Structure 1
Amino acid sequence: MNLLFLLVYFVIILVVIETFVILFRLTGLKVEVSRFQVISMMTGTGFTTGESELILGHPIRRKLAAFLILFGAFSLAVIISSISQFLSKGLRLTEILLGAGAIIIVYCTLKVKGIQQLLSKLFNQELKHNVELADLPIRDIFLKNKEDTLVNLHLYGESQLTDSTLNQVFPQHGSLEFVVLFIERGDVMIRKNIYDTTLHEGDHLLLFGRKAVIHQTFSHDIHLMEEKQKELQDQPGEI
């Protein structure tokens, strides 16, 4: 009987995981990211990864995450208490099967394409009505198109942009599909006259636009930045 209970409980956990994977996917999160984060929240392990920001910065995902964390905490207590009740023959298997059946019905309902479209529409409406743009993760604001990207370009002494302006290096930048959002110079954010500002070693440029255009236009500086970062990672640590 104990083995049967464990099997039923295992099925319940799997169904809950897949149910919330569907719900997170309907908010725009990738399936592989959703599944890992759902398991992390239920078990209380691994949720401190960088991908967790995709959930913490999204109001609807935060609500789903809160339920999962609570479910994970209480489910462990339930399985321990339930096994002890089984040992004392105080819990009926029918109750467990009914609970498992209800969860499976919810999961099967969410698998229906029409239901998914309806929920996706409701999620988007809630975001439009109740959420400020600043509350959303940067990926949800800027990276709506798979062809777009954000690049934090670090300038070095050998960069082609160093000691020059963007207008000097790329006089036709207006016809290209990218923009420079700002220049970070130490603690200073430069937002005015960006394209006429002389760039210095150590500056950071936040670029937004077509991935192919940015990587082609700034190929030299991006390649240099990647090499410098790789050299830094390969340096042996100090003893």
Structure 2
Amino acid sequence: MAAVISLVVIVTLGLLVTRVATVALTMTGMSLAHARFQARSAFTGTGFTTSEAEAVVSHPARRRIVMALMLVSGAGAVSVLGTLILSFAGVDSTGGGLQRAAVIVGSLAALLWLARNQYVDRALRRVIERVLRRFTDLDVRDYAALLHLRGRWRVVQIPVEDDDWIASRPLGRLRLPEEGVAVLGVERDDGTWVGAPGDDLRLRSGDVVVLYGRQAMLDDITDRLHGDEGEQASERSRAWHAATPPVEVVERRR
């Protein structure tokens, strides 16, 4: 029975390690869904070539988190297999084997329920965040939570082309704030970055503009072209924004 208890403890530690890694990744600015996927991918040794994986590799703090997770996962997999074998070693009857199997299945089911419970997840996340902030030097900021990107709000990158509505005019003339859209920055075609640009900056073909706002507005701006139709779409969006204040009730994180 000691081997069964050891197996449950090892699996519990594995779940806890992946949860810590998930929280740590979100605190570097990665969304919760992507952080959870990357943490589980690294822990299981499954490789995926995705833009999120590239974002992990190119970010020093995220790279350190995933490297530590890979080291822990190697030892964890061997321990689980070894302990699982020992759990059934020396069983002298079918009934004894079934009893141990039932204990293992029941324990794993309980752990799975705890892992999926939103109240447990919320409490555990708060504890992990406090510990990471106190004992690590990670540049921890959950930007997705700060900007409420899990709701209707989004940050998008829009490549600028010649026939786009946003091209070749000063930002001030676009009146994007009246549509509830903020310009966070512009990456110029020469590789330079302009953060929080002023109203006199002109967007050129080849630039990439980063916007923050409600999803519906951002989709409309992305598809908007030069000409009367673009101006009419802008007027409709300004009127809609004025009639629909960008306010929503959110749960305050403590």
User: Do they superpose with TM above 0.5?
Assistant: yes
The corresponding residue for 2:238 is none
Equivalent positions of 1:203-222 (< 5 A) are 203-220=207-224
Q: Do the aligned residues in 1 keep the contact of 2:156 with 2:212 (CA within 8 Å)?
A: yes
Q: 1:120 and 2:121 equivalent?
A: no
The superposition leaves residues 71-115 of structure 1 with CA deviations (integer Å, 9 ceiling, x where unpaired) of: 3445247747986x89xx9x5459xx5995896365565566654
Deviation at 1:206, TM superposition (A): 0.9
The superposition leaves residues 11-51 of structure 1 with CA deviations (integer Å, 9 ceiling, x where unpaired) of: 97xx6699459936984733x973x5455324322155333
The corresponding residue for 1:43 is 44
Q: Do the aligned residues in 2 keep the contact of 1:166 with 1:196 (CA within 8 Å)?
A: yes
Please give the alpha-carbon distance, in whole angstroms, between the structure 1 residues aligned to 2:148 and 2:114: 30
Q: 1:177 and 2:173 equivalent?
A: no
| Amino acid paired to 2:19 | L
Please give the alpha-carbon distance, in whole angstroms, between the structure 1 residues aligned to 2:163 and 2:178: 26
Q: 1:199 and 2:203 equivalent?
A: yes
Q: 1:155 and 2:156 equivalent?
A: no
The unaligned stretches of length 5 or more in structure 1 are 222-239
Q: Do the aligned residues in 2 keep the contact of 1:58 with 1:136 (CA within 8 Å)?
A: no
Q: Do the aligned residues in 1 keep the contact of 2:20 with 2:128 (CA within 8 Å)?
A: no
| Amino acid paired to 1:179 | A
| Amino acid paired to 1:200 | R
Please give the alpha-carbon distance, in whole angstroms, between the structure 2 residues aligned to 1:132 and 1:141: 20
Please give the alpha-carbon distance, in whole angstroms, between the structure 2 residues aligned to 1:213 and 1:147: 10
Q: Compute the RMSD of aligned alpha carbons.
A: 5.0
Deviation at 1:179, TM superposition (A): 0.7
Please give the alpha-carbon distance, in whole angstroms, between the structure 2 residues aligned to 1:116 and 1:26: 11
Q: TM-score, normalised by structure 2?
A: 0.54
Deviation at 1:129, TM superposition (A): 5.0
Q: TM-score, normalised by structure 1?
A: 0.57
The corresponding residue for 1:226 is none
Please give the alpha-carbon distance, in whole angstroms, between the structure 1 residues aligned to 2:21 and 2:50: 18
Q: SS of the counterpart of 1:198?
A: coil
Q: Kindly, what percent of the aligned residue pairs are identical?
A: 20
The superposition leaves residues 128-173 of structure 1 with CA deviations (integer Å, 9 ceiling, x where unpaired) of: 65678944465354344421111111111222222211222x2x43
The correspondence for 1:188, drawn from 186, 192, 203, is: 192
Q: SS of the counterpart of 1:175?
A: helix
The corresponding residue for 2:19 is 23
| Amino acid paired to 2:198 | I
| Amino acid paired to 2:177 | G
The corresponding residue for 1:70 is 72
| Amino acid paired to 1:187 | G
The corresponding residue for 1:167 is 172
Please give the alpha-carbon distance, in whole angstroms, between the structure 2 residues aligned to 1:192 and 1:71: 42
Q: SS of the counterpart of 1:190?
A: strand
How many pairs are equivalent? Answer: 201
Please give the alpha-carbon distance, in whole angstroms, between the structure 2 residues aligned to 1:71 and 1:133: 21
Seen in structure 2, the aligned counterparts of structure 1 residues 80 and 124 have a Cα distance that, compared at 3 Å, is: closer
